[in-house]
Amino acid sequence: MYIEKINGPADVKRLSAGELETLSEEVRSVLLKKLSEHGGHVGPNLGMVEATIALHYVFNSPIDKIVYDVSHQSYTHKILTGRKAAFMNAAEYDEVSGYTEPSESEHDFFVIGHTSTSVSLATGLAKARDLKGDTGNVIAVIGDGSLSGGEAFEGLNNAAELGTNFIVIVNDNQMSIAENHGGLYRNLQLLRDTDGQAPCNFFTAMGLDYLYVKDGNDVQALISAFQKVKDIDHPVVVHINTLKGKGYRLAEQQQERFHYSIPFSLETGNPSVDFGNEEDYGDLTARYLLQEMKRDRTIVGITAGTPTVFGFTAERREEAGRQFVDVGIAEEHAVAMASAIAAGGGKPVFGVYSTFIQRAYDQLSQDLCINNNPALILVFWGGASSMNDVTHLCLFDIPVIGNIPNMVYLAPTCREEYLAMLEWGIHQTKHPVAVRVPANGVISRGIEPEKDYGKLLNRYEVSRRGEKVAVLGLGSFYQLGEEVVRKLKEDTGIDATLVNPRFITGVDEELLEDLKCDHTLVVTLEDGVLDGGFGEKIARYYASSDMKVLNYGIKKEFADRYDISELLRDNRLTASQIADDIKRVR
């Protein structure tokens, strides 16, 4: 085996051509074993094995700096830069993150997790190099899927003006998470079909030099190409054609399924854990939308490269036909387009992960809310229990969305309420609406929910009227609110009031005034960062009165790969801690 002797790029350089090919196979085996046992990004990493080996063979990291877009495809890079143990030894699997991480290695320059940033970041490294009069290559590795993001375009546009050494490896595997979308991809196809010779070339049109590698999984061809551009004195794109999932037949054939996987059986490709037929909001949403789409041909679902966030599998996308649009990884465009569809009389529904809607703040504000167009945005996975990678935190959507004028941001507490808000959101014509889909499982409260949230604007639901203490349990923390009320009753005999605020973006002044009569403390619970969040508005409302307020949520910090129970406890987000605090304050 060669992989066992790789402690850094220098060891890669010692290998011969044949040995490098064997190394590729070994890396693939190691990856497949870890991925099947541990889960992670499968297709992207299998496709990048040879290119990563070739990069470290030709370039001298970390003097030469490589930046990986999204960086979910950096597993081989980690193996070759001193971290193989985390891939070969099950006990150490979690010693590395799923993305580049400077604290692990000098070969990693940034923590990255969102798309389309590599070229911009790399231009910064190049500029710093030039300002300091240093030498060294700067290389950005970006997948074709990431090219649809506006920031990548901005980076490429500026790269050409840099005028100095700058290398962009475009890893073209003809896939995003799902299929690619956009006119640009036709040009990539043309370039592949003409072996990079077509005169009409997006990259050269952007002012960049260009080189094509037909077989991006052939180590020698890659080494040859990389050697051509090494130490080049101007910006150049090396366009490599790779196969996503290469080396594992099932990943090659089911590219969308194996973009990312939880632990699975190598033999069958099936997940090792069976979640059964437990309902999830994504699935529920897609089924509901498809049914509505048939009745109303102006309803259109929109995604920015993540169709399954709201249950739109390949089959369902096919079924929806022209009533489903994937704009590529382009959240800004998705929001503006949704606003205009609504303006034009259509009924747009944009489904998006909490962590990604923050990419479109200006469009939410300008394109959508200033124009008060009645588009509907479904924000999924908002809260602390969804994704715990620092670059995929779902804790900031409330401050991002909730402080924009005109926006109506709803927080359902259960299945019934979610469906009612979804229905109202789609058909109403007066407000830009967003719904924070609960991320704590599909729970039924058995209630008959309201239907017209426009009529009820900013009126909270009092689910039980008590006295002394009022608990406002927002969205997925409503159930925590129920627990708090129970614990308080147990511990102190107090019959607290329980409120479901429903409206993240509104303060129910009438209710809040009314509570002053027989309450001395209001407690807010939100599954998100406190700063800029819901609770602060309640605190501000009562600030000059005698009413005391306790705000619970997540403190403002970038936690990474946290244990959810620990995080909740650190933030005093358990019923007993909250009950204790209430006792202390009263």
362 near a second copy, rule: CB under 8 A: yes
Taking the complex as a whole, the smallest distance from the CB of residue 73 to a second copy amounts, in Å, to 17
Q: Can you state the angle between helices 219-229 and 49-58, rounded to 10 degrees?
A: 40
Please identify which residue in 150, 263, 271, 454 interacts with a second copy, judged by CB under 8 A: 150
Any idea how long the chain is? 586
CA atoms of 88 and 19, how far apart (whole Å) = 19
172 near a second copy, rule: CB under 8 A: no
182 near a second copy, rule: CB under 8 A: yes
Do residues 143 and 137 touch, judged by C-beta distance below 8 A? no
142 φ/ψ angles, rounded to the nearest 5 degrees: -135, 135
Taking the complex as a whole, the smallest distance from the CB of residue 532 to a second copy amounts, in Å, to 4
21 near a second copy, rule: CB under 8 A: no
Of 401, 388, 379, which Cα lies nearest the Cα of 306?
379
**Nearer residue to a second copy within complex by CB, 254 or 458:** 458
Please identify which residue in 399, 425, 473, 475 interacts with a second copy, judged by CB under 8 A: 399
Of 47-55, 129-137, 271-279, 410-418, which part binds a second copy (CB under 8 A)? 129-137
Do residues 76 and 54 touch, judged by C-beta distance below 8 A? no
474 φ/ψ angles, rounded to the nearest 5 degrees: -85, 125
Of 52-60, 121-129, 281-289, 469-477, which part binds a second copy (CB under 8 A)? 121-129
Please identify which residue in 86, 330, 511, 575 interacts with a second copy, judged by CB under 8 A: 330
CA 283 to chain CA centroid, Å, is: 18
Site for a second copy in 57-76 (CB under 8 A): 65, 67
Dihedral of CA 556/559/564/569: which sign? Answer: negative
Site for a second copy in 454-493 (CB under 8 A): none
128 near a second copy, rule: CB under 8 A: yes
Mask for 534-553, x = binds a second copy (CB under 8 A): -xxx-xx-xxxx--xxxx--
CA 86 to chain CA centroid, Å, is: 24
**Nearer residue to a second copy within complex by CB, 283 or 332:** 332
CA atoms of 538 and 262, how far apart (whole Å) = 40
Please identify which residue in 26, 144, 151, 283 interacts with a second copy, judged by CB under 8 A: 151
Please identify which residue in 91, 183, 275, 315 interacts with a second copy, judged by CB under 8 A: 183
Of 319-327, 377-385, 475-483, 569-577, which part binds a second copy (CB under 8 A)? 319-327
400 near a second copy, rule: CB under 8 A: yes
450 φ/ψ angles, rounded to the nearest 5 degrees: -65, 160
Query: Which of helix, strand or coil describes residue 500?
Result: strand
Taking the complex as a whole, the smallest distance from the CB of residue 425 to a second copy amounts, in Å, to 17
Please identify which residue in 181, 246, 316, 431 interacts with a second copy, judged by CB under 8 A: 181
Helices (H) and strands (E) in the chain, counts: 24, 18
Matching residue, tokens 């437990």: 278
Please identify which residue in 129, 246, 259, 317 interacts with a second copy, judged by CB under 8 A: 129
Please identify which residue in 36, 76, 105, 158 interacts with a second copy, judged by CB under 8 A: 158
Do residues 470 and 499 touch, judged by C-beta distance below 8 A? yes
Site for a second copy in 193-232 (CB under 8 A): 199-202, 204-208
Site for a second copy in 284-313 (CB under 8 A): 297-298, 300
Distances from the Cα of 373 to the Cα of 259, 334, 357, 378, angstroms: 35, 14, 17, 15
Query: Which of helix, strand or coil describes residue 350?
Result: strand
Do residues 136 and 107 touch, judged by C-beta distance below 8 A? no
123 near a second copy, rule: CB under 8 A: yes
CA atoms of 395 and 283, how far apart (whole Å) = 23
**Nearer residue to a second copy within complex by CB, 152 or 290:** 152
Query: Which of helix, strand or coil describes residue 364?
Result: helix
Mask for 249-288, x = binds a second copy (CB under 8 A): ----------------------------------------
